[in-house]
Structure 1
Amino acid sequence: MRRLAIVATLLWTVPCLSAQSGWTVRSAPAVEFWYHAMALVGLQGFGALPLYDPGYGPAVRSGREARGIGPTALERQAPSLRAAFEADSTFELLHFLPLYASTATPEQLLTGNAPGLAAAALHTREQRALFDRFLAAARTDLDAAWSTERRTRAAAQNAALAEVERRWADAIAPAIGGYLERYGLTSGVIVPVPGLGTDGRFLAGSAESPALVAVQLPRDSAHAADAAFFVVR
């Protein structure tokens, strides 16, 4: 996982069951949506482990087709967006960008936070145009499908996060407590996210802000608690 500096401290929460470990499990809709969009585009990253769940996009498209929801602009443009992003290493920043705006709503992320965060890195007109095209396509997906999908699965997802927190508190945190203490990782926030691959994301904490770890939330609810193990990666 890449280590970057965290600038956000608050996330949307589910009840904390592991306060004794200094780590909590929470949801962050803006982070969820961003990585949903990236997974739909089909990016896999640059390492041996995938940055996104390769089965997530097909599962989303299949579910939408079954409900009579036609392909969104993001789905239609996915092949061209993927090719363009993979051709320019500058866009590797997209794999980590939402972690800097974890308290935002998805709408705020697309219209304010993301353009602001990316501005310093996108130096050419072509890069900015490509990024704007991605944001516009992502917004159509948010409005046409994702927002409703997120509300529909909210109760089930909160239950899954509670299972992740229990697994973390009961098994993982006690087993690696010494390691966490030695490396100054005694507290932080775990954000399980549908669509992420087995290689998650990490932002180092500071005196003012906790460390943030985004990990895959498995699509199979029976294995949701496995997300606690992914934190160790």
Structure 2
Amino acid sequence: MSQEPSADSAATTPGAAPTDGSRRSFMKQAGGILGLALAPPLIGQAERFTAFSKTVEGVTEMTLKVNGTARALRAEPRVTLLDALRENLDLTGTKKGCDHGQCGACTVLVDGRRVNSCLTLAVMNQGKEITTIEGLAKGEELHPMQAAFVKHDGFQCGYCTPGQIMSGVACVREGHATTDDQTREWMSGNLCRCGAYPNIVAAVREVAGKS
């Protein structure tokens, strides 16, 4: 009588379906080879773990020149310029909106250029001229951009207004407010939930026309 082939012989016979054990072994071997192929070099992996293990601790002394005045503060190196202005220097006119650099509510001027203060570290801005919304007016005299926003009703809830005004000042200085379309393009980084965009454009354009 003919004998039934054993599981081992079936696994090695050409064309025969592998048994559960041989299939499992094949998958383990294939997975191991794929893992080795995709794994990064051992040195790179070690460096990556070392980088992850580092923490930023403690506070450091720093000086920020804000609105023409040198202000000393103590803060952790990881503190953003936005938080330093609001929490350490009590300049709360600069607003925290999305905290991801997407809404423009935190816009300030650094060396005359507009910057999302939530995306830059305070410690990196030492020695630079920082201007916030509080530094625009001269005493009781409003800055022309502030006056234009009042005149054209360029705000409703007002939360985005400080960032809008700071961006508008820079937009005019940059020469990017010569037409309505150009103004809308170069002010597009500042969002207004209330939808006061036509009034904002009118205010910026008026200031641009007088400069």
Bigger share in helix? 1
Q: Which structure's relative contact order is higher, taking Cα pairs within 8 Å and 6+ residues apart?
A: 1
Pairwise same-fold verdict (TM > 0.5): no
